């Protein structure tokens, strides 16, 4: 089993990275938070999860153990495959995902492409007792799971802003004023970008 890959970044896209390890290029599927962490870097160390099936041999790369551990927990849930788990981690960063699972917020999970209400509920039921909250998960406020927040975030992304900076700006705005309207939240976030 491959535990990690360490080497030069030969190619980097939002969905995969090719790591050159002593002249051999390994392609690892990655999440958006991992892509963001690797952007602008020339070398990388990715923690690896190997998926070996009859029809495919895939590597999944993660920037930290928290993300890899959550990925492994997610694929252990019936009906959640590796690509679905990666989609969840791309849509909801690891510390926030821990908070979503611990708080039982199935609505936030079902907003992820490819996740229905039953799968969202199954993820929460299966993982709630297995997840040990980290400091990051405990600090995330439930306000970021509101429909108004999601609508504002979606609007920011449609305007061409990246997900992570938009989330940070909107979280700050919603922490200060949880009852803010979508239009005002977007205006404030635009002034912060």
Domain with CATH 1.10.150.20 in the chain: 66-139
17: enclosing H helix or E strand: strand 16-21
If residue 6 lies in a helix (H) or strand (E), which one and from where to where? strand 4-12
CATH 2.40.50.140 residue window(s) in the chain: 4-62
| 71: pLDDT strictly greater than 70 | yes
Angle at the Cα of 107 from the Cα atoms of 81 and 48, rounded to 5 degrees = 30
Confidence of residue 138 (pLDDT cuts 50, 70, 90): very low
CATH for 142-192 is: 1.10.8
Q: How many residues does the chain have?
A: 193
> Per-residue pLDDT averaged across 144-161, rounded?
75
Can you give the pLDDT at residue 28?
A: 96
- Let me know: does 15 contact 30? Beta carbons within 8 Å: yes
Homologous superfamily assigned to 66-139 = 5' to 3' exonuclease, C-terminal subdomain (1.10.150.20)
Multiple choice CATH, 4-62, 3.30.1740.10, 1.20.1580.10, 3.10.580.10, 2.40.50.140:
2.40.50.140
Mean pLDDT over each residue of the chain, to the nearest integer: 86
Mean pLDDT of 7-35: 94
CA atoms within 13 A on the CB side of 113: 5
DSSP-derived 3-state class of residue 53: coil
Expressed in angstroms, the distance from the first to the final Cα of the chain is 43
d(CA 156, CA 17) in angstroms, rounded, equals: 26
């Amino acid at each position: 089993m491959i535990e990690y890959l360490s080497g030069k970044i030969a190619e980097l896209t939002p969905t995969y990275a090719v790591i050159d390890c002593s002249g051999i290029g390994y392609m690892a599927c990655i999440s958006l938070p991992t892509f963001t962490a690797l952007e602008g870097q020339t070398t990388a160390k990715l923690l690896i999860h190997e998926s070996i099936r009859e029809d495919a041999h895939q590597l999944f790369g993660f920037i930290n153990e928290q993300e890899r551990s959550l990925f492994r927990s997610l694929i252990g849930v019936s009906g959640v495959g590796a690509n679905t788990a990666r989609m969840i981690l791309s849509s909801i960063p690891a510390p926030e995902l821990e908070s979503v699972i611990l708080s039982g917020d199935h609505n936030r999970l079902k907003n992820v492409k490819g996740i229905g209400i039953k799968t969202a509920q199954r993820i929460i039921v299966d993982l709630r007792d297995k997840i040990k909250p980290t400091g990051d998960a405990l600090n995330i406020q439930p306000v970021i799971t509101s429909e108004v927040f999601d609508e504002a975030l979606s609007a920011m992304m449609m305007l061409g802003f990246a997900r992570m900076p938009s989330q940070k700006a909107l979280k700050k705005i919603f922490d200060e004023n949880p009852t803010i309207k979508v239009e005002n939240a977007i205006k404030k976030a635009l002034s912060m970008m």
